[in-house]
Amino acid sequence: MITIGFSTRKHNQEYIDYLQKTSMYKEVEIIQKINDGEKSLSQVYNEIISESKHDIVVLCHDDLEFDTKNWADKILKHFQKEPDYGILGLAGTKYLDSNAKWWEVFNTMYGVVNHKHEGKKWTSTYSKDIGNKLNDVIIVDGLFIALNKKQIKHNFDESIKGFHFYDLGFCLPNYLDKVKIGVMYDIRVTHLSIGQTNEQWENNRIEFSKKYENSLPIDINKKDKSQTFIFIHDQDLLLDYENNNKFNNLYNYTYVFLGHRPIDKIESLKNVIIARNCEFNIEEYPLFTSYTGWYCLYKNNFIKSDYVNLLEYDTILHKNFDQMITKFLNDKVEMIGYVPFPMNHYQFIENPDWNSEILKAVEDINKINLKNRYKKIIESNPNAVWSSTSNTTFRKDIFLEYMNWFQPISERIKNSKTCGHAHERSITYFTQIKNKKMLITNGLLKHLQVDSHKTQGHKVDNESNYNKLLYNIF
């Protein structure tokens, strides 16, 4: 059976009856603790656990509406089906930074919770609903915590005062001692308030961060899900990046050195591929810029992961770049683009210097007039955007399909001064011709476009750009 416990400022028989009714168990044990601020929530919850008759205990706020019928039965089934789990909740995270603000990196959050405030109701969807399955997380939100007393190794931390951070103080030490924690999707509640921070919250956060500073950050995303390749052609800049830990926030990354500049300082580094030394390369076409690196990876079979991030050297990444995109990868997205730009802008498809050769090649090989096609798209959706750089995340099979498609086109344009710009556009053209879905994000990546090959013609402040790149000034 099951015990349900909650803390409340005064006796609340109506809520007791409501919990019994919605749980669908007549024999359910309900423990009400009247607490008008005399005790911390950690103390109250430990009392409930101690007094509870059953192994399965639910601790919930007293301002919840249950939108799911028979929710107690669903909890029992989860623990029966997955007996290794010790803690279950409705919202949580796979990433906990050293600042302990677990909700700050939205894309690492999981679960679905309804909210109601001042007469308005909305749903906070942190991740895709996966039905009666569980998502492994590090901590769960305290509005609703279900636990198995036989599996947990720590009770609530009573050194945490008041009503904030009690949930982290319970979940994290259990997680660190190998207790499995999960988020459920088949139980939906409506929280009749919104989370707000205050001075006590900040004080508790600081104390919590200090206490666990040697354990944080923690990231349980699948780090082998993707590889990152960074295309660069200046060994001194590469060394500056390494010495400054520019890309150390990435799970795993490798530089691909392009062109024929000196490599004596970097050729022995384990995380550097020298494209011109590989069996298959097209480094005799430097104006193709990053595409020669793509070709090297493709032809020499360097991509071993499910996904690949192909990034230029002159980019600045969000500090949680990998954490932010992992949820998309888990949802099996085909492609991710960065730096959205309007399709109705002249530079996208109208500029003949950057488009005439590739448009002609596409029309000859694929029998498609892209200019006419995009004209119709823009007419129907004037706000349509494209991913305006070659920085792209591909699912591996989609990347291989793109390369097979683009190779005959590349042969037609490889001698053009602006073939690199054509390559940038070709990624979007590919999605249209092959009916692929690209998720275009904003704010995860900034491309400075330093124009190192002098094909764009705009003025570049090299000193300013160098500092921005080196110190990741977004």
CATH classification of 226-470 is 3.90.550, yes or no?
yes
Class in CATH terms, 2-219: alpha beta
Q: End-to-end CA distance of the chain, in Å?
A: 53
Instruction: Note the Cα 352 to chain centre separation in Å.
Output: 37
Q: What is the pLDDT along the chain (474 residues), one digit of tens a residue?
A: 899 999 999 999 999 999 999 998 878 999 999 999 999 999 999 999 999 999 999 999 999 999 998 999 999 999 999 999 999 999 999 999 999 998 889 999 999 999 998 889 999 999 999 999 999 999 999 999 999 999 999 999 999 999 999 999 999 999 999 999 999 999 999 999 877 778 999 999 999 999 999 999 999 999 999 999 999 999 999 999 999 999 999 999 999 999 999 999 999 999 999 999 999 999 999 999 999 999 999 999 999 999 999 999 999 999 999 999 999 999 999 999 999 999 999 999 999 999 999 999 999 999 999 999 999 999 999 999 999 999 999 999 999 999 999 999 999 999 999 999 999 999 999 999 999 999 999 999 999 967 554 455 555 567 889 999 999 888
Angle between helices 13-23 and 71-81 (to 10 degrees): 60
pLDDT at position 459, please? 57
CA dist 193 to 33, 118, 140, 230, Å? 20, 9, 17, 45
pLDDT at position 194, please? 78
Q: Do residues 354 and 425 make contact, with C-beta atoms less than 8 angstroms apart?
A: yes
pLDDT at position 474, please? 81
Domain with CATH 3.90.550.10 in the chain: 2-219
pTM reported for the whole predicted model: 0.91
Q: Do residues 194 and 118 make contact, with C-beta atoms less than 8 angstroms apart?
A: no
